[in-house]
């Protein structure tokens, strides 16, 4: 049982995690924000119970296996009496039915865990001093969305760090709404958010939004990553998610792409082409999608590496970007 000092944090955390590696990852993730302070680590329910009574935390993070024991019912009563927030920690299959949970896979990084915490507690201020994403410029994040996408993008992009990988978003909207969407995201996001323009270079810390434009947006086929405006003909939606995704195939091994909620199937074939060329591809799961058309079309094609709930999409994207670093070392942009 270990205690740590803190300075006026918003969340005073008791961490009840027996596994050393998991505990260390979460400790590192908590240190990334001044709003979390670890006041105790406990290896058993009895230790955690004593720390809750003696240290007055307001958040308990507890291992899913500990929480499955009959004795946990007593602790839940204590949570209720003290109005404590608590979340489960475990592998995806052990916490699948619980919204207030942090999933810890074998390769889960502290920054990905930090993104999950930010999604669970959206009111937490984003910490610009948080650890930088290593070699962020080596990955490209591409996101497509339609119906319900404005709200979904807000939840995903507000959890991106200030030095996020270069990110391009295609959102289906009415003509001219793109500037309003950029303004909205700029008020909520740490990275700079800009409206797509022709011959625009892509850089870490910048999210480029293609929405309400009269032209398609594509990646230039060679050289440093930059955008090009293309002929608006040939697709139902302008700009088109498929056109962006297909244009990124030559750079697929450094691409992390996702389809969020939306009607229709725009982006499905492009996501498949990216996956077949070596990209990491995600789709929002059906349970959290306002409309499951675009993600479902991609799943049906076999274009999706993994379906992810909206609240965990930021973490999935950032973790995949970190995983891109070794696989991309022999790839030339």
Nearest to residue 240, comparing CAs of 153, 310, 307, 142? 142
Q: Which among 10, 7, 14, 8 is positioned nearest to 39, based on CA atoms?
A: 14
Q: CA 250 → CA 67, 137, 208, 330, 333, distances in Å?
A: 47, 17, 20, 14, 9
Largest Cα–Cα distance of the chain, in whole Å? 67
> Tokens representing 151?
């709200």
Active site residue 4: no
- Number of Cβ within 10 Å of residue 69's Cβ equals 11
Give the active site residue among 51, 242, 266, 292: 266
Set 172, 216, 237, 246: catalytic member: 172
* Nearest-angstrom CA–CA distance, 298 and 137: 27
Distance CA 293, CA 65 (A): 36
- Distance (Å, whole) CA 24 – CA 10: 21
3-state secondary structure of 10: coil
Alpha helices in the chain (DSSP H): 20-31, 45-55, 64-67, 72-82, 110-120, 149-157, 178-188, 241-247, 268-276, 293-301, 313-327
**216 part of the active site:** no
Q: Quick check: 258 and 144 in contact, CB under 8 A?
A: yes
Catalytic option among 109, 146, 240, 305 = 146
Active site residues: 146, 172, 266
């Amino acid at each position: 049982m270990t205690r740590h000092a803190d300075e006026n944090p918003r969340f005073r955390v008791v961490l009840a995690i027996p596994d050393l590696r998991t505990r260390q990852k979460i400790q590192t993730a908590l240190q990334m924000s001044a709003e979390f302070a670890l006041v105790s680590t406990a290896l058993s329910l009895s230790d955690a119970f004593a720390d809750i009574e003696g240290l007055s935390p307001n958040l308990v993070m507890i291992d899913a296996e500990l929480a499955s024991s009959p004795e946990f019912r007593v602790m839940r009563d204590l949570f209720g009496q003290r109005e404590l927030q608590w979340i489960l920690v475990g592998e995806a299959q052990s916490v699948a039915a619980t919204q207030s949970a942090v999933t810890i896979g074998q390769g889960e990084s502290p920054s990905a865990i930090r993104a999950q915490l930010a999604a669970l507690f959206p009111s937490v201020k984003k910490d610009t001093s948080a650890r930088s994403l290593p070699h962020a410029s080596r990955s490209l994040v591409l996101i497509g969305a339609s119906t319900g996408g404005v709200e979904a993008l807000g939840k995903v992009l507000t959890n991106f760090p200030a030095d996020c990988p270069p990110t391009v978003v295609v959102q289906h909207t009415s003509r001219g709404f793109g500037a309003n969407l950029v303004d909205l995201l700029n008020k909520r996001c740490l990275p700079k958010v800009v409206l797509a323009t022709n011959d625009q270079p892509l850089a870490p810390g910048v999210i480029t939004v293609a929405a309400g434009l009269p032209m398609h947006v594509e990646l230039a086929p060679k050289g440093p990553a930059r955008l090009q405006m293309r002929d608006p003909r040939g697709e139902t939606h302008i700009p088109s998610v498929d056109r962006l995704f297909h244009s990124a195939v030559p750079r697929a091994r450094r691409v992390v792409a996702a389809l969020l909620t939306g009607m229709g199937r725009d982006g499905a074939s492009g996501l498949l082409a990216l996956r077949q060329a070596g990209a990491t591809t995600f789709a929002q799961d059906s349970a959290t999608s306002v409309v499951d058309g675009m993600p479902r079309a991609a799943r049906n094609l076999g274009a999706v590496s993994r379906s992810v709930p909206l609240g965990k999409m930021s973490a999935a994207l950032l973790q995949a970007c970190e995983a891109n670093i070794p696989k991309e070392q022999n790839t030339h942009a």
